[in-house]
Structure 1
Amino acid sequence: MTLAYFPSSLTRKISILRHPNLSHSLSTTFSTTWELKTTHAQIIITGNYSSDLFVIARLLAAAAISPVASDLHHAQSLFSTISIPTRFMYNTMIRAFSQNLDSPAQSVLYYTQMRRTGILPDRITFPFLIKSVSTLDDGNLGRGVHCDVVRFGMEKDVFIVNNLITMYSGFPYHLSCARKVFDQSVNIADVISWTAMLTGYANAGDVGVARWYFDRMPERNMVSWNSMLAGYAKAGKTSDAELLFDEMPHRNVASWSTLISGYAQCGLCEEALTIFKEAISSGVVPNESALVSAVSACAQSRKLELGEWVNIYINEACKDDNGATLNVTLQSALIDMYGKCGNLEKALQIFRDMPMSMRNTFSWNSMITSLAMNGSGRQALTLFWKMKMSGVSPNAITFIGILTACSHSRLVDEGHHFFDLMVRVYKIKPSRDHYGCMVDLLARAGLIKEAIDFTEYAGGTACWSAGCSCWRM
């Protein structure tokens, strides 16, 4: 593109950028980040519109929160060149970082900077700021933001109230604060407020109080029903979950998925798979959660034939483009299922077919554990080093798989080496399962005295935690 074309192309872009509706402007002005940066360069080179605060504010919004052309680094760079940012500009940056799970603290920094310049927050500022604080999981910071909400007279804005309830509900030991916010705002509370309260208590395991809120809701939506259903499922109250499921006036895929997951998590695998089949026969297209739960149920029950049937269904669903995606989570679950069902060849096939760039800690762990459980201990150890070379860091679960591999293959020296590597190099604090694997390794190798000594070293927590065999020798 030459300078001769700048004026006409720039004028067209600015015209769209000025559209009265912000959402329309952000979704239609730029189709790529490169296009946005090119327009910014044109503004700088020509000098046109560089002093137009409305245009610069819209350009900043496009760089920060556009659904198709955003680039947070470019947005930060652009913001730093603005001598006197407006409240809209600060809100834009706070909003952008509230949606970025890697840097939510940046929202707080922009808010602090805004306050220091004397700009007052508004009802747009706080919901995004509260969302960032929720992600940071900082109760003290959350209370500080709540104080500012009250200080600026916005404690009766239902949108802000709902965000405060959700924030406090997500903090450990802060449900009482959520309840206080709700009680003080009950006259303006809407279905979202009530749902936030019941969800908070359900997530905390107090399904009795969650049901109290559910029963007193002036109105309910699908989220309300699903939240109560999830509360029962998480608490292991599968009978109550099924009764509530039967009472639901309408169900969506999340409702079915919640019930399937609940049964699978409680070890009721036959029931989980029965509901999975019922969902399919009802015309429901299962989401990722339901598919993973069905695969997990097959793995727990060691039902290879059912697992193969679920695998075929998943492959067909992905091929037919029914919304299912054979992503890393689903493939890792399939590897785990085939490993637990004893079909190591199929587990290896799925793992080998995964692109190296796609493999994450979960997929490597699934394959290492599958090898360990099926007597291929040395292959598991080799895979561990390949995992390291690929740049994926092992975690506590990885070492349970590795120590299990050493135990089943009686690799005593290797077991000691990996236990030391875990503690000394990776700074992972051993759990009961790690200690149990080591005691089991020593016992299987006939080193009973060493196993007992290791138990004493572990503080008496190791035995029986991983099916230790030292007392059965």
Structure 2
Amino acid sequence: MGSGMLNLGPSSWRAAVAAAAARPANFRGAHAVLLTSGHLSSRSSVNSLIRASHFPSACALLLRLLLLHRLLPDHISLSFSLHSCTRVPSHKFTSVLHSLAVRLGHSRDIYVANAAVSSYFTSSDVASADRLFAEISGDVADVVTWTTMVTGHANAGSMEQARWFFEAMPERNVVSWNAMLGAYARVGMLSEARKLFDAMPYRNGATWSTMVTGLVQCGHCEEALRVFGDMVSSGAMPNEAALVSTVSACAQLRSVEFGAWVHAYAEQELHGAMSIILATAIIDMYGKCGSIHNAVRVFAAMPVRNVYTWNSMIAGLAMNGGESQALSLLWKMQMAGVQPNDITFIALLSACSHSGLVDEGRSLFDSMIEDFGIQPVSEHYGLMVDLLGRSGRVREAVYFVRSMPVEPHPALWGALASACKMHGEVELGEEVAKKLIELEPRHGSRYILLSNLYGAANRWDDMATVRRLLKRRKVPKGTGNAVVGNDISYVE
């Protein structure tokens, strides 16, 4: 290593040290690289490495190297090291660094102080962040410090404190306004967010993007699309989160026209270099809106895909009559080196259920457990019951539910009862419906389902008995009607 390292250029030796310092176990390797490179004589060279280190452990290693060679860390060394704790929380390292800054006389440096406040919040030590702010608020704190207090308290769930710091700020910039706006949006306080948004003296792309994302997260999709349109008209550039949220809103509203416009806008502004996350959201949107050809076009153009991309494409095909193509993607995604997850099999089992592919569905369910080690969740069990029930294999479905290793969810029994009614399995349906009433005696749709079963079999006396029971127990009729669809004609 010795002779070769002496000839390395600045970028080469820095890369070598960064690689060696990636883990604490490589302390000796980093030390050797620095010694042979001849750069330990310069604190600034080590500081550049600390700045490039994303992990507190690597920063700790480099600080130890400084101390071993009798070079005291300066305010730059400490601020960069503290910033690493905002990326990877480390309360212990934050405390040690802050104590070291006090001892070396750097604790009132604004960059060190701000990094320490942020690091304390990141490690969930709100009390230490508040104490430090109280010490520096009189003469050191700047707009960044105050904004950090707003964001920190909001992230800690204390909106009143966040609002207090925002109102008390001696000065605000657009980042400060955005911090408070984002805090309101994250907790669903949309009326406050909208008032703040309207009162802002200036906005940037992050401002608009925060508003759009908050609206979508709270289910106000139509308003989100209006705000997105206003943002584009204003000339502000949305960030990726806003684009993804807007595409998601289009998917929820089944607005393929607006979704296609957002897609075209993103391609134009990003020059075709969309991220995997955005492209996957667009595939999902097209699939849910029934424009499967556009979904396939976006999917085919992607140079890199992750498991969520494949899942979105599989689900889109399953929803739009491409069940066989959806099933073929399981093999293709494995050939591409992408392992399926539980969501993949939900989409695949849904494809089997829509097309009545019982044997394929059974095989997929078994393969999920045996070949991929994925434990089924309620959605997987529900789709298997739906698959068997739709195909008329009601007794198999009942056996499947009873043999489950977990307690069946009432919705599974409800799906079974509906399948029994569909295929005329009255006695079995009666047994299942009574089980449902036993499990959920205050669930009106369970009584309705049993009454409908009796009505379909012309068992009018039994139907009347269930109706009287429903009235006597004063169970709301409308509870959970989605389980039995709109077929409630037998109940007055």
Give the TM-score range, shorter chain.
Answer: 0.7 to 0.9
Q: What corresponds to 1:346 in structure 2? A: 294
Give the secondary structure class of the aligned counterpart of 1:124.
helix
Q: What corresponds to 2:126 in structure 1? A: 175
What is the Cα deviation at residue 389 of structure 1? 1.9
Q: What corresponds to 2:338 in structure 1? A: 392
Change (3 A) 1:337 1:157: same
Q: Is the 8 A contact 1:436 1:468 kept in 2?
A: no
Structure 2 CA distance for aligned equivalents of residues 424 and 379 of structure 1: 23
Change (3 A) 1:121 1:269: same
Give the secondary structure class of the aligned counterpart of 2:98.
helix
What is the Cα deviation at residue 435 of structure 1? 5.5
Give the secondary structure class of the aligned counterpart of 1:392.
coil
Equivalent position to 1:299, from 242, 251, 265: 251
Equivalent position to 1:310, from 240, 256, 262: 262
Equivalent position to 1:186, from 115, 130, 137: 137
Q: What corresponds to 2:14 in structure 1? A: 64
Deviation per CA, 1:335-364, whole angstroms, max 9, x where unpaired?
010011111121111111222xx2233322
What is the Cα deviation at residue 63 of structure 1? 5.0
Give the secondary structure class of the aligned counterpart of 1:279.
helix
Deviation per CA, 1:401-431, whole angstroms, max 9, x where unpaired?
3444444445556556655665666666665
Structure 2 CA distance for aligned equivalents of residues 437 and 88 of structure 1: 61
Equivalent position to 2:402, from 453, 456, 470: 453
What is the Cα deviation at residue 143 of structure 1? 3.0
Q: After the TM superposition, which residues 121-136 of structure 1 pair with which residues of structure 2 at under 5 Å, given as runs?
A: 121-136=73-88
Q: Is the 8 A contact 2:85 2:122 kept in 1?
A: no
Change (3 A) 1:442 1:224: farther
Q: Is the 8 A contact 1:60 1:89 kept in 2?
A: no
Q: Is the 8 A contact 2:17 2:33 kept in 1?
A: no
Whichever residue aligns with residue 306 of structure 2, its letter is N
For structure 2, the residue ranges without an aligned partner over 5 or more in a row are 22-29, 420-492
Equivalent position to 1:95, from 36, 45, 51: 51
2:328 counterpart of 1:382: yes
Change (3 A) 1:249 1:115: same
Whichever residue aligns with residue 342 of structure 1, its letter is G
2:281 counterpart of 1:333: yes
Change (3 A) 1:253 1:111: same
2:415 counterpart of 1:469: yes
Structure 2 CA distance for aligned equivalents of residues 107 and 421 of structure 1: 46
Structure 2 CA distance for aligned equivalents of residues 64 and 266 of structure 1: 46
Q: Is the 8 A contact 1:198 1:211 kept in 2?
A: yes
Structure 1 CA distance for aligned equivalents of residues 373 and 57 of structure 2: 26
> Max radius of gyration: which structure?
2
Q: After the TM superposition, which residues 193-342 of structure 1 pair with which residues of structure 2 at under 5 Å, given as runs?
A: 193-318=145-270, 325-342=273-290
Change (3 A) 1:115 1:350: same
Q: Is the 8 A contact 2:5 2:36 kept in 1?
A: no
TM-score normalised per structure 2: 0.71
What is the Cα deviation at residue 369 of structure 1? 2.4
2:27 counterpart of 1:79: no
What is the Cα deviation at residue 274 of structure 1? 0.7
Give the secondary structure class of the aligned counterpart of 1:236.
coil
Change (3 A) 1:182 1:280: same
Structure 2 CA distance for aligned equivalents of residues 422 and 175 of structure 1: 44
Count residues in correspondence: 403
Q: What corresponds to 1:50 in structure 2? A: none
